[in-house]
Structure 1
């Protein structure tokens, strides 16, 4: 294969996992998940792990970075980069191909772009000294640390303060970051129409509620997690926790959650289109194509 690995991305309910698993069986590959919530153990229905998708005609496709941390933990992009690299090297050492599959754009882009990330601890004293300053003042302070190439670091005061905190840490500490390799990846995007996406999201939400998603949230709360712990993860866990704790009725929860998932899928597509503007080439394939046709098209690109 002329690529280091294949990336399959797409919004929620686009069928990317089924496609990745079927392709993996064909090309002797293992899958590395790029999903910021499927890393958590016990958070199965709400994150849509659908582990049965990894069984293709009786063959269990090996997967990585699913069920690797306890619920309540706050996994981050730095840890994902580290864990991706470890999984990638392990898979390659066994002579297998690699497929990166998921919908968390930041995680995917951090690997494809090779961000050099270092975990920077919170500096409470610095944060207190910056609180109350205007966005303009914060931008001026940040500009003394580095040249501002874009506005993403200063679109809110919170982000500007964090950017200053990071730059201040880099200036005062010897940073030993693992050099992240440059990868050449074939990037496949699953393009699903807005109408079909909405239909599948609504159907899947009803299915997950029938499968016991409410009981999953109750179980997590009974295990010692606080409502705030679960609300932090957003979407299903936010709205079901609000329902279980009595803040929302069942109908309110269903209605608000459905809207939130539709909005989330739209944001995912906005990120992926932004990746194209940032220089990534994404080969889009139609979600409505027959599965074998999708695989044939991808294999013709390899």
Structure 2
């Protein structure tokens, strides 16, 4: 058995369910490869494992940070590597849909320079003045990166930190074509039609479970002004609903559309960024169940 089993895929593809079943079967912990599940209270919107699932299987990088804490791909890779080495003689599972985290951890990448004191200063400036001045400074040092990142405050802060230390543009990130260590990569790939069906069903369920109420509480705590957690899908739309700009029906439709757009980007990423992965395609829920049973039967 490979020491690390990676189960990746777009949102609502069933990767968390498969990972949980496999973890129980082989008595393995799970590394959550999800940029938002690490935040406490960001439960419904991040499709976090249930309390029962968390009690049955150890999940790393779930409920470990407060929403105001920054979190980067480099942070994820360092922690995931520590966990991998800690479990060096036993299998572990990594499951999630944050493609850059998975790619950097599995294939390695040139890391950008960082400085904790500088990062804290930039973060303090962001909290006091907003993003505009920092964005302008980044645009001076690296206009290409600034244009690419203009709608992502978290990545603007990190890019400016690195560009400041480099005194110029960020280098193009390069990856190895083979994983850094012995692992099996499984990618679940639903068809676009099935993906839309699963996403619509899940968005309705999440709203019924209290996604709006969760959003209101977190927005009141400053979620939308945080450097990383503010990127969580759906909360900006919930804020518009709470402000009276979207009806509940319009909110539901907007959430489904935004999530489908995100899933499309994920499918493109996972088709192209993991050259040594096994990609399992399925057109409907019955085919997905057959894929799950096939994978589970191999362990």
Q: 2:75 aligns with which of 75, 79, 82?
A: 79
Q: TM-score, normalised by structure 2?
A: 0.75
Quote the offset at 1:243 in angstroms.
1.2
Distance 1:126 1:244 in 2: 29
Q: 112-121 vs 287-296, which deviates more?
A: 287-296
Distance 1:252 1:299, change over 3 A: same
The reply on whether 1:208 has 2:198 as its aligned counterpart is no
SS of the counterpart of 2:42? coil
Specify the alignment match of 1:225 in structure 2: 222
Q: Secondary structure at the match of 2:231?
A: coil
Residue 8 of structure 1 contacts residue 102 of structure 1 at CA under 8 Å; is this kept in 2? Answer: yes
RMSD of the TM alignment (CA)?
A: 3.5
Find the partner of 1:111 among 105, 109, 112. 105
User: Would you say 1:240 and 2:238 are equivalent positions?
Assistant: yes
TM-fit CA distance, 1:232: 2.5
1:22 and 2:16 matched: no
| Residue 260 (structure 1) shift | 0.4
1:47-62 → structure 2 map (5 Å cutoff): 47-51=46-50, 54=53, 60-62=56-58
Gaps of 5+ in 1: 140-152, 173-180
Residues 32, 65 of structure 1: 8 Å contact kept: yes
Native 8 Å contact 2:3 2:90 kept in 1: no
**Residue 284 of structure 1 is aligned with which of 280, 284, 288?**
280
Residue 204 of structure 1 deviates from its aligned partner by: 0.8
Question: What TM-score results when the alignment is normalised by the length of structure 1?
Answer: 0.75
> 1:149 corresponds to which residue?
none
Aligned length: 268
CA contact 1:30–1:91 (8 Å) conserved in 2: no
Shift of 1:127: 7.5
Contact kept in structure 1, 2:138 and 2:159, CA below 8 Å: no
Pick the aligned partner of 1:189 from 187, 190, 213. 187
Q: Which structure would you say has the larger Rg?
A: 1
- State the alpha-carbon separation in 2 of the partners of residues 227 and 166 from structure 1: 24
In structure 2, C-alpha distance between the alignment counterparts of 1:160 and 1:76, rounded to whole Å: 12
Instruction: State the distance in 2 between where 1:160 and 1:208 align.
Output: 30
